[in-house]
Amino acid sequence: MQTLHDPLRAAREAVRSGKFQDAAVTLAELPTEVREGAEWYLLSAMVSWRLGDFAASRREALAAREGYRARGDADGEMRATNVAAAGAFGLGALADAEDGFHAAMQLARELGDPLMAARCSNNLGNVALYLAQHDVALSFYRIARAGFERLGFEHGVAETWINSAITWRDLGRHRECLGAADQALDAAEQARAPRLIAEALANRGAALAALGDDTLARVQVDRALGIARQEGDRFAEADVLRLLGLIAQTRGNPELALARLREALGVAEALGHPWTTAEVQRDLARVFRALGRNAEAAGAFAAAETAFRSLGSVPRADAMQREGAGESG
């Protein structure tokens, strides 16, 4: 049997193995006629997103969407719409992201693609979380979780529980955060996903610390840090270091808290991850303020505000501005 030639095969394989830089090079070297196709644009958009070039990703995804639309390929259009929305999310254009994820979710429902529908719902939850619309976020995570559960996709189930835990933590509802993190850990272990296990443990640790059990919290977060480093997952590492800083502060050790938070900031900035950067700056500012180091606190609040604003998270940016001006946060 003769197999059809797929000019994008090498690039797809590089993407599957997580070699995004290699994939970018392979894609750039393909002939012009291939680089004008919707498939090329979509794959390139995914690679650009992974490499952090959200503007290019969005541009390419929109080009892919037009290509798919022109030939009536609704499935391709759905996938391209989702990637374009993810690009907008990365750029902090939250309204565009929200529109895009909604459109992709609608298409997914029409096409009977429950996995994509669940993913879009999870993404819409993240948009709502950035906008500090906690109840909306929890609602989308709940719907996404039902979809993932139905498909037996434990990885997705774990992600929605982790996102729910983060949302509850943001609300100061630490018992609910702990409950969600427990569920996340079970699902992450079933999915055998170390990154998710680390994140679930970190959220458990944060909840336990907030509930006053900092000894157990420390065990959880230390283990999370170990897994994150072992897996080379620097996003998780930055978040876990930040939580270790918060635990140190809770335990009355502000110097250690500052050291941990600065470490976290270094990792977050090296990654160019504005959300984590914003969160670390906010926590640093609060520790500085508690120590009476007001000038440094003001600088960190301003940096957090800038980072949140760059993400389109206006309510959070405004809150940082108020807190920096000395109003209660």
Partner 1 sequence: MPAPALAVIHLSDSFASVWTDMAAEAGAELRSVESDAAPARDAAALLLAAGGEEQRGLDLMSGIAERWAVPIYFVGAEASHRFAVEALRRGAADYFSLPEDADLLRRTLAARFEAGRARAAAATQDDNPFAELMGESEALRATLERAGRVLRHGDVTVLLGGETGTGKELLARALHRGGSRRDGPFVAVNCAAIPAQLLESELFGHEKGAFTDAHRAKPGLFEEADGGTLFLDEIGHLPVALQGKLLRALDERRVRRVGATQDRAVNVRIMAATHVDLRQAVAAGEFREDLFYRLNVVHLVLPPLRERGDDVLLLAHTFAAASAARYGLPEPRVGTDVRDALQAHTWPGNVRELRHAVERALLLSPPGTLDPQELVPVRRAGPATPEAVTAGRLADAIRAVVEGAVTRHGGNKSAAARTLGISRARLQRILDRQEGGDDADVA
CB atoms within 10 A of CB 5: 6
DSSP helix, strand, coil percent of the chain (3-state; round to 5): 80, 0, 20
Task: Pick from 102, 229, 234, 293 the residue near partner 1 by CB under 8 A.
Answer: 102
Residue type, 145: R
Task: Pick from 73, 149, 170, 263 the residue near partner 1 by CB under 8 A.
Answer: 149
321 sits near partner 1 (criterion: CB under 8 A): no
229 sits near partner 1 (criterion: CB under 8 A): no
170 sits near partner 1 (criterion: CB under 8 A): no
Residue type, 86: A
232 sits near partner 1 (criterion: CB under 8 A): no
Residue type, 71: R
Task: Pick from 63, 88, 94, 143 the residue near partner 1 by CB under 8 A.
Answer: 143
Task: Pick from 170, 213, 231, 296 the residue near partner 1 by CB under 8 A.
Answer: 213
When the beta carbons of 219 and 314 are compared against partner 1, the nearer one is: 219
DSSP, collapsed to helix, strand or coil, labels residue 133 as coil
When the beta carbons of 72 and 152 are compared against partner 1, the nearer one is: 152
Q: Closest approach of Cβ 177 to partner 1, in Å?
A: 12
Is the distance from CB of 259 to CB of 296 less than 8 angstroms?
A: no
139 sits near partner 1 (criterion: CB under 8 A): yes
Q: What is the DSSP string of 192-245?
A: T-HHHHHHHHHHHHHHHHHTT-HHHHHHHHHHHHHHHHHTT-HHHHHHHHHHHH
Contacting residues for 289 by C-beta, under 8 A, at least 6 apart? 297
Stretch that binds partner 1, among 68-76, 145-153, 281-289, 317-325 (CB under 8 A): 145-153
Task: Pick from 30, 56, 74, 216 the residue near partner 1 by CB under 8 A.
Answer: 216
Number of residues that bind partner 1 (CB under 8 A): 22
H-assigned helices in the chain: 9-16, 20-28, 32-35, 38-50, 54-70, 74-91, 94-111, 114-130, 134-151, 154-170, 174-191, 194-210, 214-230, 234-250, 254-271, 274-290, 294-310, 314-324
- C-alpha–C-alpha distance, residues 295 and 19, integer Å: 43
Task: Pick from 12, 223, 229, 293 the residue near partner 1 by CB under 8 A.
Answer: 223
Residues 172-211 close enough to bind partner 1 by CB under 8 A: 176, 185, 189
Q: Closest approach of Cβ 17 to partner 1, in Å?
A: 23
Binding site for partner 1 (CB under 8 A): 102, 135, 138-139, 142-143, 146-147, 149-150, 176, 185, 189, 212-216, 219, 223, 251-252
